[in-house]
Structures are given as C-alpha cells and as structure tokens.
Structure 1
Amino acid sequence: MLLTITTRHMPATDLGYLLHKHPAKVQDIELSKGKAHIFYPVATEQECTCAMVLDIDPVGLVRANEGPSGNNFALEQYVNDRPYVASSIMSNAISKAFASALNGKCKDKPEMVEMPMPFEVKLSVLPVNGGEQMIQRMFGPLGYTVNATQYTLDDKFPEWGHSRYFTVVLKHTVTLQSLLTHLYILIPVLDNDKHYWVNKEEVEKLLAKGKGWLDKHPERELISRRYLRHQKSLMNDAMSMLMKDDIPEELVEAEMISEPEIPTPKLHDSRLQLVCDELLSTPVRSVLDLGCGEGKLLKLLMAHQQLTHITGMDVSSRTLEVAYRRLKYYQLPDNQRKRLRLILGSLVYRDRRIEGFDAAALVEVIEHLDHERLKALEKTVFEYAKPAKVVVTTPNKEWNITFTEDTSMMRHNDHRFEWTRAEFSTWCEKISTTYGYTYVIKAIGDEAEKVGAPTQMAVFTTINN
C-alpha cells in the first residue's frame, strides 16, 4: 500500500524538516505487522514528495491474537485485503513514522508547524464502505478537494459491478499536523474496520487526534461510531466529550443526578441465547453448531445436561484451537468432555459425521457464501444431515438504514449477500418445499418501524417430526 504527500510550497524541501525525514535517505520503520519504507521520489525547491510504502507480513497478521477484524469470520485471518490496502495499519504507520509531525513538533523549524501549506495526498488503494459519497462526506467539510477513482471487481466480468476500492487524491492548504490527523482518523473510518481490538484507549486517541476539528465536523457521530467499531458504550463516551459545549448546563446537571441506565445484552450475546433456547425448546439430546467459530454457542449448550452429544464444526483449524481453549476442553471432567466434540470440516460437502443429530444451528453463516456454495450447503444440511430441527440466523438488510444511508453497504466485508425479510422468507419457503420442513420466522433484537429487527431467525422442523 502506498501513501504520498506532495507540496509545492517554496521551498518545498521544508517538508523534510516537518516530517523529520531527510530527503536524501531511505528509512525503514519497524511495525508490529511489517515495515514502513519512507523515501522521497521528488525533492526539489519547487516540489517535494514523501512516499511511504507498507510491507505487511501476512503470516504476522495470522499469528496476532486479535486477527483481522477481530476474527469475526473464520477465514478472514487467511483471506483478507489487509496487506494491500490503506487501513488502520496505515494509520498505525503514520503515528509511528511521523510521530513528531503528528504531534505538532519540529525541532529545526518550529515556526512552520502552524503554517498552512498546499498539499496533495494520494492513497493508492483505499477501501471505502459507502462509496465515493462517503469520501466526500468525510473530507469535504474539512476543505479538501477530492478526486476518487473506483475499481471494478473484475475487468473480465463487468456485470459484477464495482469494488469498494478507490485511488484517492486529496488537495488542501492546511497545516501538516492537521493533514496527518485527518488521515490518521479517517482512513480506518472509511474502511469501517480495524486490525485490532478497540477499547477505551481508542476514545482517548480519537479525542486527541480529532482535537480542533472533529467536534465541528457534521459527521462526527458517524466518524466516532466507525472509529470505535460500533461499540455503543465507547461511542457514548466519545460523543459526550465532543458535544459537551453544545449541551446547556442545566441538562448536564440533570444528567449527573439521573438514574443509571440498566445495561442491555449485546445483540450477538442475545442472539446466541435465543438460538440456544430455541434448540432446547423441544426434547433434543444431540445438537450441531455448524460454523461454530470460537465456541460461544457451544459453551451455552454445555450448561444443559439433557444434551448428551454436542458437536461444533468449523472450516478454520485455528478458530477451533481457540474454541478448545475457551471451552477449557482439556480441563473438563471425563464425563463432560465425552459430551463435546469439535471437528474440522466444510459445509459445502457431504459429511457423515454430522448426520443423525436432533438439532442444528447456523448462526450468521449463510451470508458468507456465494450462490453456488449456498446451494451446496442447503443439500449438505437439509438433505444429507437432515436434523429434525434447524435454526438459521442472518442479518436483515432493511435494518441497515438505521446506521447508514448507503443501501449497498453490508455489515461485514466478507458478506456475499444480505437479505430483506421478504427475500429471507422466499428462501425459507424454498427450503420447506424442497426438503420437507415446516418453518417459523422470528425477529431478534429491537425492531425499528418499517424495517424490522437487526437479525432474522428461521426455525425449520421436519414435517414427519
């Protein structure tokens, strides 16, 4: 991935002083996930360009405990775009390679720190969740002129449409410190992802790097939400600080004496609990978790002694290793360990190890498969394995309007589709008529007017059951 910063300020070589990087030297900066190479392809009095190329170690990304995207999808640690695009790894490189400039320090020419200069920035491959409109919404209010070129998914198959990748050129007369803080925050915001887990320290980073501009940005709420990876409690903390000057003093005092809010379960946790309850709502003794991930549903199921056989299946061996650790498999008493089995396998091929179970769950799995593989999964589960009960959950596409205006945006980069309620109902009806199941569709999560709940769940039961 490549970032270039160009100025035609006179003398342009002042850029080297501000960045604390000599134009005559090539410098390498060690990163936790690879290296940053910094050099100057142009360095004259009239024009100076500093380039930063990131050389990311894909094996290092896999070995990291958190994994890309927090390991939300089993295969993402192995198949992802992180080594090739400007992402939160680029932000991390900016903070490490240009730390002095980012913090507004210049030892040799301190008077230049506050001097606006004409800059042109080029990001060679920037992933954007929300299209060109989102780039304009982020950089336009800050005064940038934006030129964005979008790439197709595949030139050989133009009908597949555009990808989410852009080459972006930004132009503005601004201080270098402001430029770097804008890039530091907005690159991962546009990507709508981070390569590491987000905690309260990220709120401090957001407020520190956004000082002087974020509180005035018309999209400050969206920026905060994406930067903090949609963690509501962290976003509330950030927004309370950003908006403190907007709130009348009497309302602040009222807030201080108000009753504490009762925390509500996260959607993911409540979804798993509802799936668990649904699986156990009829007498079952053997249960499958297909696409079990790190074993969160399995842990809930293990608490119910009526289940004598509990099997989790996943396509990722590393994820299964995490599940073994989280379930403390090797510390379980013998009688408990005999109830639990973890197996490596794919849902697009018939597997006799998953046949003969009373019930099965597919929690947020089907949307990760393209059309042909989804058809293969249908046969594997509903024709060959054929549990008496199957519980399937998937996102409700209509609900996405509650957090984005971009109708093409999906909740995860790896999703191949997200269905409306009508589309999900059509699929359920096809499964019912093709494989001999009845079904009931239920909503999971708080429902919004006209768009429904965030998650839709179908409970399939064999007709002869």
Structure 2
Amino acid sequence: MFLTITTTGTPDRPATDLGFLLHKHPEKAQAFSTSHGRAHVFYPEASAERCTAALLLEVDPVALVRRGKGKGRGGAPDAALAQYVNDRPYAASSLLAVALSAVFKSALNRSCAARPELVDRSLPLRVEVPVLPARGGAALVQKLFGPLGWTVTAEPVALDEQFPEWGDSRYVRLVLEGEAQLAEALRQLYVLLPVLDDTKHYWVAPDEVDKLLRVGEGWLADHPEQRLIVDRYLAGRRSLAREANERLELARLADADDVAVEELDNAVDEDADTEEKPVPLAVQRRDAILAALHASGAHRVLDLGCGQGQLVQALLKDVTFTEVVGVDVSMRALTVASRRLGLERMGERQAARVTLLQGSLAYTDKRLKGYDAAVLSEVIEHVDLERLPAVEYAVFGSARPGAVLVTTPNVEYNVRWETLPAGHTRHGDHRFEWNREEFRAWAHAVAERHGYDVEFTPVGPDDPEVGPPTQMAVFTLRTSNENSNESGNENSTANSTANPKGAKAA
C-alpha cells in the first residue's frame, strides 16, 4: 500500500516544514514495525519549493491470517482461500489507516514541539493513494471528501487494461488537493480509508466510538454523509452506531446552543424597568405559554429545549405546576439555568419540584414519558428539516404528553423588524422559519399522525396583514384514541415528511 502527501512552499515558508509536522526528517528513510507488516517513510522529493512524504506499507499476509482476521466486515474471517488470496497487501484499507496513525501519531495529535506554530497553519496539500477500494465507486469518494473542501479526483481502475470491455473494478486512484491543516487531513484519511473499503481487519470494540469521535472532532458532526461514515467505520454494529450518532448530535446542537442569551431573538433584560415600554416578545411568549398550560389543566410539565431556564423559572413561581423538568442538549445552557434558578440554595421542597436533564430531542427518552404537558418554545426552527420527523416521534409518539405547546417564529412578520435585513432569519442557527400556512400544515399533519387535536394562538401583536411575530400550536391528546394507532410505526413516522410545501431551509 502506498500513500503520498505533497506540499509546496515559498522562501519564507519552505515546503520542508512538512518534515517538522510529520516528525520525520526529509533526509532519512525510516522503517517501523506494525502488527501486520512493516511501514516505510521516505521523501521522494524535498526542497523549499516542493516536498513529498511517502508512506509505504508492506503487509505480511501470513501474519494477517495467523492473527485470525481475514477480510470480512468487522474482522470476520473469510473463506480459507480468501485469507491468502486477496487485496490486503496492495489496496489502501484499515491496515494503512492504522499504520498512518502509528507512524504519524504526533501529527495526528497536533503535536510539534520544535515548531508549534506550524500545527494550525493551513498548507497547500496534495494527497495521492494509487489504489483505493471504493464500495460505492467514484461518486461515493466525491461525497465523502468533497464536503470537506477537497478537490477530488477519483479515477476508476480498469479490471484489465487489455480488455477494456470488462469495465472498471471497484478500485480508484485517489487524488485530493486543497488547503488544509495537516492534522485534519490525516484524521480524515484515518476515518475515510476504511469507510470506503467498508471493512476492517480487526474486531470493532465499543472503544472505537470514542476513537471515532476524537478523530472526527471538528468535521464529522456536520458531514452530510455522517450516518454512512459512522455505520461503515463501526462495521455495521447498530448499537455502537446509534451511540456515536447520538453523541455527534449532542455535540452539534450544543455548539449551536452555546450562544450568549442576549444574542437570541427572545432575550430580554429580566431586571430592566419595563414601565411605559412595550412588553418584550419573550415575556409575551412566556405569558401565553403559562395561560395555555393553565387551560390544559397540566401540573407536571416538560420544558423541551429549556435553554438557560427562563420558562422553567416562571413555571416554578406558579404553585399550580407541581413538577417541572427542563431538558436541553447544551450543558453550558443547563449550567446557566442552574445558576439562574439557584438550585444550590433552593429549599428542599422547592428543589423537589424541578429537574434539569441533558438530552437530545432527536432521540426517544423514557425519562420523558407520563407528563401532563410538554413545551417546545422556539425549538423546532433550530432542527434540520430532515431531522424534524425524529423530534416529532420522540415527543408525540414516544413521550406522548397530554398536551404539547409549540411556538415558532412567523416568517411573514419579519418585514416588521427594522433591524432585520431582508432574507435573513431571526437567529443565525435557525434552519427554517415558516409562514402561518406552512406551520399549520405541519401541525395538522402531526396531530393526525399521533392522535391529537390542535388549535392555534397568536403571540404578540396580531398584524392584520402579516400576522403575529410568534405563532403557537396547542396540541391536545384525544383520550379516545390513546391506545389506538400508538402514533404509528416508528420508522414510518421518522421517514414522514416534515417540510410543508414552500418551507425553506435557512
């Protein structure tokens, strides 16, 4: 197996700086023992203008077989002959990925004691792998590397050059070109080489999840092919893939939610003197939610996506609500909420009324079942449209409270905000903002699928032309249908459309 990394330089930034980052001197050829063969590192060219580092891995097929790991997915041995006659010594795979991480460990870990300033520098890189198995063809190679900013060349390798009519093999010649930090490039290769091969030479244990998240930090959570990458990297082990996807979702949402409260569209100064001033929309929203909860007769309430605890605080001030649970994906937000509520100083009886939980609404959670009502206040617009059905099922199909209150911005009202540029959403993380027709279409469909009735309430001034700034849907469970059509099949619900006609992603 063979892999080369090439960079170019200038007189003040020589290309041979690559040697410092890789911890391998350009004037030396070095060899390293691996569990399945021998890895060689050398530099075919090394000048201030251009430098290429090469990794050559010689695999011992006998040693591979003796370790009991054939070519099967996740390390399962193949038929006896395939253990000896296969592509393992020649085509890039998890064997090359492991050798890459062992030989260039310091570079992967962003360590460069001699020249630490180089670690965060983006370099013009050219990575070439002459023979790469690609189960999915050149198109999949593009889907995996393209979103990471690489210019991708994936040339299919013919089955036999003498017989072109036989067509192409499942192998490609891969060339990646672009500006990137070396550590990021190595981490992406470490994950995606075995993903394209769709097999591993060793058994995939639970600690592979931690390894994947560590190496994938900064690029995997937002990759459009995240689920395919996770599934293949973890050799199709569903329990491990589910855990990895949940943790990636938590990380992505936590990054989005870790925003100072004053930057959010519903932020207000709680201690400000509001006399003779318009009541802030956030206060009007909370008042409308409290009124709807009273009308529903709820006593035990979930605040889903509770953020920094403003609604939880308001609920605790009302003795009608005997139990209040705040749920958020962001630990930072929950920490702020805890301080806001004064949980450490709270009396025992009051503390027994409130619980703060970390969790993602994209996944079902047994802790959320059995409550009178649930509130999603300014939450759904922060969810990708393709993931909204999962949130729908987790709330309406699994948790299934007696009432659900959903508030979301009315995009039609945005023209009334003088400080909001045309075409912009109210918050940078809003994935969409619906008009009244789109929101009602979504809400009616959700109610029909899960056995709820739904009514709509304007929040804020109801402009005769563009409607209110916030729209609220109040879902009430139909008790006669409680045990019928238990919100349908989980898979069918998760796959049902959540994007009404005309809805736009931000």
Give the shorter-chain TM-score range: 0.5 to 0.7
**Number of aligned residue pairs:** 262
- Deviation digits for residues 414-441 of structure 1, max 9, x if unmatched? xxxxxxxxxxxxxxxxxxxxxxxxxxxx
> Which amino acid in the other structure matches residue 12 of structure 1?
A
Q: In structure 2, give the amino acid aligned to 1:235.
A: A
Q: Does the CA contact (< 8 Å) of 1:68 and 1:196 recur in 2?
A: no
State the partner residue of 1:62: 65
Question: Does 1:246 pair with 2:249?
Answer: no
Write the distance in 1 (CA, Å) between the matches of 2:142 and 2:229. 13
Structure 1 residue 65, shift from structure 2 partner: 2.0
| Superposition pairs of residues 284-433 of structure 1, within 5 angstroms | none
Aligned partner of residue 154 in structure 2, secondary structure:
strand
Matched, 1:21 2:28: no
- Matching residue's letter, 1:3: L
Distance, in Å, in 2 between the alignment partners of 1:256 and 1:29 is: 50
Q: Report the equivalent of 1:30.
A: 33
Q: CA deviation at 1:158?
A: 2.9
Q: Residue type matched to 2:43 in 1? A: Y
Q: Distance in 2 between matches of 1:140 and 1:180?
A: 15
Q: Give the alignment partner of residue 80 of structure 1, picking from 72, 77, 86.
A: 86
2:76 equivalent to 1:71? yes
Q: Which runs of 5+ in 2 are unaligned?
A: 255-303, 306-326, 328-358, 370-490, 493-506
| C-alpha deviation, 1:197, in angstroms | 0.9
Contact 1:115-1:175 within 8 A present in 2 as well:
yes
Q: Distance in 2 between matches of 1:108 and 1:115?
A: 14
Rounded Cα–Cα distance in structure 1 between residues aligned with 2:57 and 2:235: 23
User: What is the CA deviation profile of residues 351-387 of structure 1, one whole-angstrom value per residue up to 9, with x for unaligned ones?
Assistant: xxxxxxxxxxxxxxxxxxxxxxxxxxxxxxxxxxxxx
Contact 2:133 2:171 (C-alpha < 8 Å) held by counterparts: yes
Q: 1:57-456 alignment to 2 at 5 Å?
A: 57-69=60-72, 70-74=75-79, 75-244=81-250, 245-246=252-253, 249=305, 250=327, 252=360, 255=365, 257=367
Report the Cα offset of residue 256 of structure 1: 5.1
Aligned with 1:218: secondary structure? Answer: coil
In structure 2, what is the Cα distance between the partners aligned to 1:125 and 1:221? 25
Within 1, Cα distance between the matches of 2:185 and 2:78?
34
- 1:34 corresponds to which letter in structure 2? G
Aligned to 1:2: 2
Distance between the aligned counterparts of 2:164 and 2:15, measured in 1?
42
1:83 counterpart SS class? coil
Runs (4+) off by over 6 Å: none
Structure 1 position 252, deviation (Å): 3.6
Q: Deviations over 1:9-53 (max 9, x none)?
A: 330010000000001110001100001110001000000000111
Q: 2:139 and 2:176 mapped to 1: Cα distance? A: 14
Question: Secondary structure at the residue paired with 2:213?
Answer: helix
Moved more, 151-160 or 164-173: 151-160
Distance in 2 (CA, whole Å) between partners of 1:5 and 1:35 is: 19
Contact 2:142–2:154, Cα closer than 8 Å, also in 1? no
Rounded to whole Å, the distance in 2 between the matches of 1:172 and 1:34 is: 31
The aligned counterpart of 2:376 is none
In our comparison, the structure showing a higher alpha carbon Rg is 2
How many Å separate the matches in 1 of 2:222 and 2:9?
28
Deviations 1:290-344 (A, max 9, x none): xxxxxxxxxxxxxxxxxxxxxxxxxxxxxxxxxxxxxxxxxxxxxxxxxxxxxxx
For 1:211, what is the secondary structure of its paired residue?
coil
1:246 partner letter: L
Question: Which residue does the alignment assign to 1:266?
Answer: none
Q: Deviations over 1:393-415 (max 9, x none)?
A: xxxxxxxxxxxxxxxxxxxxxxx
RMSD: 2.0
Where 1:215 maps in the other structure, the secondary structure is coil
- 1:254-313 per-residue CA deviation (whole Å, 9 max, x = no partner) reads 615168xxxxxxxxxxxxxxxxxxxxxxxxxxxxxxxxxxxxxxxxxxxxxxxxxxxxxx
Whole-angstrom CA distance in 2 between matches of 1:131 and 1:68: 19
CA contact (8 A) 2:71 2:78 kept: no
Distance 2:27 2:228 in 1: 41
Decide whether the 8 Å contact of 1:71 with 1:77 is kept in 2. no
- C-alpha separation between the residues in 2 aligned to 1:73 and 1:234? 23
Give the structure 2 partner of residue 53 of structure 1.
56
C-alpha contact (below 8 Å) 2:95/2:201 kept by paired residues: yes
Q: TM-score, normalised by structure 1?
A: 0.54
Mapped contact 1:150–1:165 kept (Cα < 8 A) = yes
* Alpha-carbon distance, 1:72 to partner: 4.5
Contact 1:61/1:68, CA 8 A, preserved across alignment: no
**Do 1:100 and 1:106's aligned partners in 2 also have CA atoms closer than 8 Å?**
yes
The 8 Å contact of residues 77 and 83 in structure 2, kept in 1 or not, is answered as no
Post-superposition shift, 1:204?
Answer: 1.1
Q: Answer yes or no: is the 8 Å Cα contact 2:94–2:194 preserved in 1.
A: yes
Report the Cα offset of residue 8 of structure 1. 0.3
Contact preservation (8 Å) 2:70, 2:78: no
Q: Deviations over 1:189-233 (max 9, x none)?
A: 111111111111111111010001100111111100010011100
Q: CA deviation at 1:67?
A: 2.5
User: Equivalent residue of 2:111, what SS?
Assistant: coil
